[in-house]
A and B are shown apart, each in its own frame.
Chain A
Amino acid sequence: MSPSMLLQLLVSGLASSFVLLLTSLGLVIILGYMKVVNLAHTEMLMSGAFICYYVYQAAGLPFIVALLVAFAVSFLFGALVERLIICHFYGKMSETLLATYALSILLKQAALLLLGKNYKKVDYPVKTVFQWGPVYLESYKLVVAGLAILSLLLTLLFIYKTKTGRMIRAAMQNRSMTESLGINTKKIDTITFAYGMGLAGLAGAIIAPLSTVTYTLGESWLTNTFMNVVMGGVSSLFGTFASSVLIQESVSVISGLSNSVTAQIIVLLVVIVVVRLKPDGLFTAKERR
């Protein structure tokens, strides 16, 4: 493999890792802070992509508006789902799995029946391709990277610098103690879940231009996002970031040496070994015990 190709693969891999980071953020919030296995996560990506199609492509509003609408709608939907369904299942991880799986089927079939059986295309909001010597990168991938970093930073700020964020962390560490301090943990749960779903909807809207929008869009993200979150450590945002980069750079480079199916198999094996040796993931948030 030539050095210029290696460089190109590393740059492409890095760009892909921001896509993976973005699509995993909502999942890690809900899994890490609430111990809820949200199988509806990837269907929220799908819903966000549909919102992007209708707001940006069909209605012709600015792309940023589509992103905000996708976040807002998903946030509200998340709050509703938490109040109606999820709040009955705290502490029962396997039941949350079933409930969110049912929700994912609902979302997918609703999209199939209501939004039609055809391919919907969202145009790239920016179209130029940058070139530095032998390395090429689509400008939209830079936008995605920027939005991913922004989402990560805002989430970190939200969790670590705001009062609500402090309450979320407190509820995660010691629920009864937090309650005895007079904090309404039910409200905190709703906000956390809704925020995670909101991030998923936002991510879906951002990735919409990268392929076509169909009711099956969520499927292809299921393995990757869950694998990423497990490898990174379920309660660590930084871990998710690091494992996104690790996974996508490995896939990219190994794919350069062989093909992408082999690359995915090797990376999956590595993830299995990592999870065996470090069951809490590569980077686990330190908890007070």
Chain B
Amino acid sequence: MTALVLIEAENGVIRQASRSAIAAASRFGDVDALLLGETGAEAASKLPGIRKVLHVPALKHALAEPAAALLAGLASSYSHILSATSSTGKNILPRLAGLLDAQPISDVVAIQDDATFVRPIYAGNALATVQSSDSVKIMTIRSSSFDPVNEDGGSASIEVLDAPADDGKSNFVKLEQSQSDRPELEVARVVISGGKGLKDASNFHTLLEPIADKLGAAIGASRAAVDSGFAPNEMQVGQTGKVVAPELYIATGLSGAIQHLAGMKDSRVIVAINIDPEAPIFKVADYGMVGDLFELLPALAKAL
């Protein structure tokens, strides 16, 4: 059996979530990688365990319509087609499944055999074991559940492919990228998140950043904090935001709604700081502190 993994590069580097998807794919047999866009082919060829890299430089915005059409043309050579559970993967792979009349399997957290997988449902409140009868199994992989392959050690060949014919119905306009010197949320060793208890966007910066700086942490936010405009949407941790599982997760001023817990409860160590001793976040926290954020967070920054 051979698996094909749709991988993503950022600034010429393969994203860690894609390397986790490759680790998952290696359970099935040989692995090829498909890379869309101009950069990253060299980095992809160095990933260990890859047979060959299919590189499509012309699809630089990874629009779902041409990407799914391209994948559909490649599908007959593969038993499994995977990607990370990323916004790119979630956009493209179900469309591919629609073209192939297959049922995609979203956000796989465990692989039992070639056809049997475990995935969370109901915002992680239940785990479903599912079995696919599709001839090509299409799935996205939750990166926090699979240790990524290393960045180098391999020497795969690179094959350049042309973009498929395009009907011009879907066009890229712009990407407004958020700039940050901090690690990406999904790969950070430490994450500090803020909720509505921080009261406004400027507190979000002044209270969380000194701690994040000391710990080399990524900054996350609850849905309520994002909805209130304290933080941009890509910082949201939760069922409908990003799912993270860092070594240390520090939750501040957030109560721990079910949908937030779904995004962080697999973290190794959880710290909760909240003024409300009854907040559900304390039920999952290894260490809790009850008190005023506006005193405790500056004190914590100082103590670190």
Q: Do A and B bind each other?
A: no
Chain B residues within CB distance 8 Å of chain A? none
